[in-house]
Amino acid sequence: MTPLEPEERYSRQVLFAGIGAEGQRKLEAARVAIVGCGATGSALASLLARAGVGTIRIIDRDYVEPSNLQRQSLFDEADALESLPKAVAASRRIAGFNSEITVEPHVADLTPDNIEALLEGVSLILDGTDNFETRYLINDFAVKHSIPWIYTAAVGSYSVTLNILPGKTACLACIFPDLPGGTFETCETAGILNSAVNLAASISATEALKFLVGAEDRMRRTLLSFDVWLNQHAEISADNAHAGCRACGERKFIHLAGEGRPHITLCGRNSVQIHERQRPVDFAEMNQRLKAHGTVRHNDFVLKFTREPYEMTLFADGRAIIKGTTDTSVARSFYARFIGS
């Protein structure tokens, strides 16, 4: 196949005065990270890859399931049937429409232990996660190293986004000093509209392009929210850091230090994630060991073991997602019985 000429591929984008030929060259030289490749993350990855961002590092801990296909635009039915890790599936799909850029897939859960290595060398971090624990971790890292990042979230018909430019704007801890308390909606309880996802991702991707081409003065300085079903929107000023902010004011990076971070965490659905990163897994050997106890299948990236009423997805580093319970003790017992304590 004859390679496509970059001048033709990006011609309509170069015609846009805000980018132009020089801006396009800056995009091609850019290195960004997307943490989480679910609904917002996959939309962000697609938009930035099509725009010609030269290197996109995708970090995601999860695998593709049928329920993802309603809103996660980089995946198809074959990915779900194979339970491909989302980072790998996204990388393959992007290669099909833009083979000229570099995509670095990392099948990993971003943690205080690996964040320095996984986010090294990027100039911008984009949020595609589904939990505040990881967002606070990103915020600590970004503020500490003065790396801009863009917070993006969507649930139900509601979407929200915030640009965080350390030293110039409020950070996430300025706006939300503490983890949200009580019960709050998730995609599993409130559902989600794919249009809300794509609105949030489109706004955030545009803000990313502004930063990458050097148009920082055009970047929004507010927390912007939209409800696409109720036709409501709101903005909260984020132009200035808040006095006494734990992160950007006092520079206390408690999430980066791992304070209070659980060894076992819930995945936001009827599942528990078990963090075991020091237990390399030989899938072929594990397949032989487990097949007498239930249904087993594996590919190069994950092993699926089903023993009713539970299903375990095991990753190559020993991390696992146990589906069928939200009880951490039950999940740990299941993991210990079949994988080891």
39-51 and 194-212 helices, crossing angle to 10°: 40
331, β-bridge pairs: none
Residue 7: exposure state from Cβ atoms within 10 A (0-12, 13-18, ≥19): exposed
What's the pLDDT score for residue 183?
47
Q: What CA–CA distance (Å, rounded) separates 242 from 263?
A: 32
Kindly give, in sequence order, each residue whose CB lies less than 8 Å from that of residue 5, ignoring residues fewer than 6 positions away: none
242-291: per-residue pLDDT in tens?
Answer: 989 999 999 999 999 987 666 666 666 788 988 866 678 999 999 999 99
The whole-angstrom separation of Cα 168 and Cα 42 is: 28
Interval 78-102 mean pLDDT: 95
Report the C-alpha gap between 241 and 336 in whole angstroms.
46
Please compute the mean of the pLDDT values over residues 221-237 and round it to a whole number: 96
Q: Which residues does residue 106 pair with via DSSP β-bridges, in sequence order?
A: 59
Two tokens at 129?
Answer: 């996660």
pLDDT exceeds cutoff 50 at 213: yes
* 341 band by pLDDT with thresholds 50, 70 and 90: confident
Enter the tokens of residue 335.
């993991």
CB under 8 Å, gap of 24 or more: what pairs does 244-248 form?
245/170, 245/171, 245/173, 245/174, 245/177, 246/173, 246/177, 247/139, 247/140, 247/143, 247/171, 247/172, 247/173, 247/174, 248/143, 248/166, 248/167, 248/170, 248/171, 248/173, 248/174
CA distance 130 to 147: 21
Asked if 149 and 101 touch (Cβ cutoff 8 Å), the reply is no
- Residues facing residue 34 across a β-bridge: 58, 126
Summarised one tens digit per residue, pLDDT across range 101-111 is: 999 999 999 99
CA dist 226 and 235 (Å) reads 9
Res 181: pLDDT: 57
Which amino acid is present at 218? R
Give the count of beta carbons closer than 10 Å to the beta carbon of residue 80. 18
3-state secondary structure of 3: coil
Q: What is the mean pLDDT of residues 113-121?
A: 96
Count other Cβ atoms within 10 Å, centred on residue 122: 20
* Mean pLDDT confidence for 132-159: 96
243: amino acid identity, one letter: A
pLDDT of residue 53: 98
Tell me if 34 sits within 8 A of 58, measured CB to CB.
yes
80 touches 69 (CB < 8 A): yes
Reduced to 3 states (helix: H, G, I; strand: E, B; else coil), residue 26 is: helix
Between 332 and 1, residue with greater pLDDT:
332
